Amino acid sequence: MMKSLRNFVRNLSLTQQLMSVVLAFIFFFALFVVLFLAGNITDFVKNQMFGILHQTQANVIYNYKANLEGDALYGANDPNIIHVIIFTDSVKKPLTNSTTTLSGDLILELQIAADMANEVPSDYIARSTPKPLYFTATRINSDAVAVSIIGNAYTNQFKATLFNSVINIMLIVVSVIFILLLTWVGYLIHPLNQIRIYIEKVRNGENPTLKIDRHDEIGELASALVSMNEEIKRQEFLKEEMVQNISHDLKTPIATIKSYGESIKDGIYPYETLEKSVDVIIEHADRLEKKVHSLLLLNRMGYLASEDKLDHKVDMIDIVAKAMQSLKVVRPEIKLETDISPAFYPGSEEPWRVVIENLLDNAIRYARSHVLLHLSPGECSVYNDGPSIPLDRLDNIFKPYEKGTDGQFGLGLTIVHRVVSAYGFTVNAQNIEEGVRFVIRPKVESKKKKADPTL
């Protein structure tokens, strides 16, 4: 049953779901009000009836004590209220403003109430009639008791008027709530439809715009979608540009290797001697290998890092030493300095070596005179005294295909970011005085789970 209900709800549109909630709310609200009224309106009417009886009876008692007689005794004649003055002396006939004869059973019930009456009004409900009557008895003096009765017609009319008034108010309140909820539903559905149309247009390759002036979660969602679409476009543009650049870069060495190979086959040496011509072929083959290696390394490093068991630690001092040894010949004029202390990071050796080599290679490429690598359990940083990074590139420098002025393919720092993120670290670039520094630190939430406990 519950499963069928859940499936039914899932098949409803958001508009239908919200409208169902609205209607259910109104139904239960109306049911609650009706049940509440049914249980309390009778008590309210009873209190009101006795209040009216007390007030009118007090006037009759006052007039009686003032020795008024006839119609003046009862004041304004209200046919719905009957006043009876019962005397202790049974010889005296009761005084009443009733134009009809009271039943014997009612007279007897009134007499019993009169016998027990005192100077404080006592309220009763007469059961000797087809429908209960409200009456109150108050002792005027030792000789007389005033008994006041209110008729069923007035009580029923009052109850019906009260009930209708409450129902009308309830209908107005429910109508207002329904209109407000309906407006709120439309306020939610309209921007969601805009977002759906926007996504469909993006999927169809169109260039739509999405403007939703809201500051709630829907507005945040719309802004996130627009930003995501812009980022996708930017990434696509960079990919296309990278493919074009790689195609151009590959075209030259391939053409050179091909032409040199054909010339050597024909016995002609394009570059003076056979040895020098073969060296040119080898040089261009090395260029091709590096370009292809960078592309493959991006996915390979991400895969290796994601598959690593992070309870395994590697000695970062050994990795730094190997990276420094392999890169110090790139620009011998650049002074490479280190400030290292023992540190063990989670992961495998090869991904971390690629990270350190890429950061050092990037630093050496831009440095003017020296590079400093700092290593500790809580931080690994690489500083170079080269030019600052433009502010508009700081946020995007680790994204794929972002290439600096002297960059090659725009993938080196992306590889760094992918590996350190998989190992529970963060990496960021900082412009500092007279240089740039790249800093790797453990994520706060992953210190205990992924990183070395000493970090």
Query: Which tens digit of pLDDT belongs to each residue from 45-73?
Result: 888 889 989 999 999 999 999 888 888 88
Instruction: In whole angstroms, give the CA distance from residue 303 to residue 451.
Output: 19
Fold (CATH) for 39-157: Beta-Lactamase (3.30.450)
Instruction: In whole angstroms, give the CA distance from residue 264 to residue 251.
Output: 20
Mean pLDDT of 209-214: 85
Does pLDDT of 344 surpass 90? yes
Tell me where in the chain the CATH 3.30.450 domain(s) lie.
Answer: 39-157
Tell me yes or no: is domain 217-291 CATH 1.10.260. no
Question: CB of 320 within 8 A of CB of 373?
Answer: yes
Task: Name the phi and psi angles at 139, rounded to 5.
Answer: -80, 125
For residue 343, the model assigns a pLDDT of: 94
Mean pLDDT of 298-303: 60
For residue 453, the model assigns a pLDDT of: 38
Question: CB of 82 within 8 A of CB of 151?
Answer: yes
Q: Which sign does the torsion angle of CA 349, 355, 359, 362 carry? A: positive
For residue 215, the model assigns a pLDDT of: 81
Query: What does 37-60 look like in DSSP terms, one character per residue?
Result: HHHHHHHHHHHHHHHHHHHHHHHH
For residue 129, the model assigns a pLDDT of: 74
How high does pLDDT run on average in the chain?
82
Q: Which of 354, 438, 427 is nearest to 388 (CA)?
A: 438
SS3 442: strand
Does pLDDT of 291 surpass 80? no
Task: Name the phi and psi angles at 132, rounded to 5.
Answer: -60, 140
410 pLDDT band, cuts 50/70/90, is low
Determine the CATH number of domain 309-446.
3.30.565.10
Mean pLDDT of 262-279: 86
Element (H, E) at 61: helix 14-65
Mean pLDDT of 406-422: 74
Does pLDDT of 100 surpass 90? no
Does pLDDT of 417 surpass 70? yes
Does pLDDT of 300 surpass 80? no
pLDDT digits (tens, 9 = 90+) for 301-323: 655 555 655 678 899 999 999 88
Alpha helices, DSSP H, located in 266-383: 274-307, 316-327, 349-366
- Treating both helix axes as pointing N-terminal to C-terminal, what angle do 217-265 and 274-307 enclose, rounded to 10 degrees? 150
CA-to-CA separations, 277 to 250, 257, 285, in angstroms, rounded: 19, 10, 13
Higher pLDDT, 376 or 255: 376
385 pLDDT band, cuts 50/70/90, is very high
Q: Which sign does the torsion angle of CA 34, 36, 38, 42 carry? A: negative
Tell me where in the chain the CATH 3.30.565.10 domain(s) lie.
Answer: 309-446
User: What is the pTM (predicted TM-score) of this model?
Assistant: 0.44
For residue 376, the model assigns a pLDDT of: 95
Mean pLDDT of 149-166: 82
Question: CB of 107 within 8 A of CB of 86?
Answer: no
Q: Beginning with the edge strand found earlier in the chain, give each strand of the sheet holding 335-340 in spatial order.
A: 335-340, 370-376, 379-384, 435-442, 425-432
